[in-house]
Every structure is written in C-alpha cells, then in structure tokens.
Amino acid sequence: MNLKSSEHKSGHLVLPGERLGVIEEFIPDSGTYVQDGVIYSKIVGRALMDLLSKRVSVYPLISGVNVPKVTSTVVGQVGNAQSDNVLVRILKIGPKKLSGVFTGVLHISDVEERYVTSMNDVCKPGDIIRAKVISDKNQVYHLSTNDKGLGVMYAFCSQCSSLLEPKRHEMQCPKCGNVERRKMALDYGKEEI
Ligand SMILES: [Zn+2]
C-alpha cells in the first residue's frame, strides 16, 4: 500500500474532483466518487482515510462535524480481538454520535499501568468500551484505557451473550453463571449508549 500518497491528504481540506486515492487501497465512502479506479472528492470538505477499515470519505465543512482527535474520549464496540490488541469500532466521541466509520486499536500495553498478560482479561468482541485517543499516527487511532474512568462499560457473556454483572474483581453472568474478567470502567453498566 502506498501510504505516502494518501498520508498528506487525511484530515486536510479537499476540493471537488481532488484525487484521494485508488480503489486498490481504499473503499470509497460518503462524499466521494470513483472514475477509472481513482477515488475523487465530490464536495468541499475534510478528507478522512481510515487505514483499518480502509475507507475514505469526505466530510462537508459544516460546524459540528465530529471526528476523533488525540485526547478525545471515545466510546466504541470491540471487534476483532488478538492476543495483544483489539480493534474498536468508534461509535461516539464524548456525547456526540458519529456518522462516519472510524476504527481504533487498543494495544495490550495501553490497557493499564500494570502488566496485562492477555487481552482476553481486558475485553471481548461485542463489548462496549470507553477509551482515550492517544495517537493518530498514520491515520490509525491508537486507544488507551489507562484510567479509572476508562475501560469496559458493557460486557457480554461469551457463552450466552447476557450482560455480565460485576462481582468483586471478576464478572459473572446472571443467566449461566459463567465467570469472566474485564478491565472495567468505574461506572460500568451506568452510562446510556
Ligand atoms: Zn452466560
């Protein structure tokens, strides 16, 4: 993938007809059109390339456009999980909902201060988590849950998908009794999504 060609454009102002990339590297999303395999902006706006979802979109320059920034607190749903990181589909920035697709990555070293051995004890696919954006290097939103207020807000049983209840340092499923672990936010289960 040629990162250089798109790197300078993400977050920048683009004009109608301005080249954003090619369909081999990106999936064209809102505010774009494709001609001969090349993705162009349809409008005047801010271009956004999400390298994890591989989507490129252009947001109109109106007030209230809400995109993740370094230091933003975001709420998202855990997607693909690996032993040392998970992908998070960002749903909200602060109290505001998003219209675009943004994906963040939470690495095991950014979960909390102490050493964490497995992402399996942190969160699982389907969980709703609150995290902070600590970097947007190369258009990848790197997340951290290293704060009492950050972490899993809602966790679901991996056996039966019921909402897990906090029990001391673990979580228990009220339906099937399954016990699991999470890195819980202080206000687990309280904030409306
Ligand atoms: Zn269960």
Mean pLDDT computed over 13-42: 93
Q: Dump pLDDT digits (tens) for 87-102.
A: 999 989 887 777 677 8
Q: How far, in Å, is the centroid of ligand 1 from the Cα of 182?
A: 15
Q: How far, in Å, is the centroid of ligand 1 from the Cα of 144?
A: 28
Mention every residue, 6+ apart, whose C-beta is less than 8 A from residue 84. Answer: 107, 108, 119
Q: Dump pLDDT digits (tens) for 34-67.
A: 999 999 999 888 888 887 888 999 988 765 567 7
- Whole-number pLDDT of residue 67: 78
Q: Is the dihedral of CA 100, 149, 126, 138 positive or negative?
A: positive
Q: Dump pLDDT digits (tens) for 104-135.
A: 999 999 999 988 999 999 999 999 999 999 99
**Confidence band, pLDDT 50/70/90 cuts, at residue 7:** very low
Q: How far, in Å, is the centroid of ligand 1 from the Cα of 127?
A: 14
Q: How far, in Å, is the centroid of ligand 1 from the Cα of 125?
A: 15
Q: How far, in Å, is the centroid of ligand 1 from the Cα of 181?
A: 13
- Whole-number pLDDT of residue 1: 40
Q: How far, in Å, is the centroid of ligand 1 from the Cα of 170?
A: 14
In DSSP terms, 87 is beta-bridged to: 105
- Whole-number pLDDT of residue 145: 98
Q: CA-based angle 64:28:126, to the nearest 5? A: 70
Mean pLDDT computed over 31-36: 95
Do the Cβ atoms of 145 and 95 come closer than 8 Å? no
The SS3 of residue 30 is coil
Find, among 186, 84, 76, 77, the residue nearest to 126 by Cα: 77
Q: How far, in Å, is the centroid of ligand 1 from the Cα of 183?
A: 18
Distance, CA of 50 to CA of 41 (rounded, Å) = 15
CB count in 10 Å sphere of residue 98: 18
Q: How far, in Å, is the centroid of ligand 1 from the Cα of 88?
A: 23
- Whole-number pLDDT of residue 4: 45
pTM (2 d.p.): 0.71
Q: How far, in Å, is the centroid of ligand 1 from the Cα of 159?
A: 5
Q: How far, in Å, is the centroid of ligand 1 from the Cα of 79?
A: 19
User: From start to end of the chain, where are the E strands?
Assistant: 13-14, 19-22, 27-28, 32-35, 38-41, 45-50, 55-60, 73-81, 85-93, 96-107, 128-135, 141-144, 151-154, 165-167, 170-172, 179-180
Q: Are strands 165-167 and 151-154 parallel, antiparallel or unpaired?
A: unpaired
pLDDT at 168 over 90: no
Do the Cβ atoms of 92 and 125 come closer than 8 Å? no
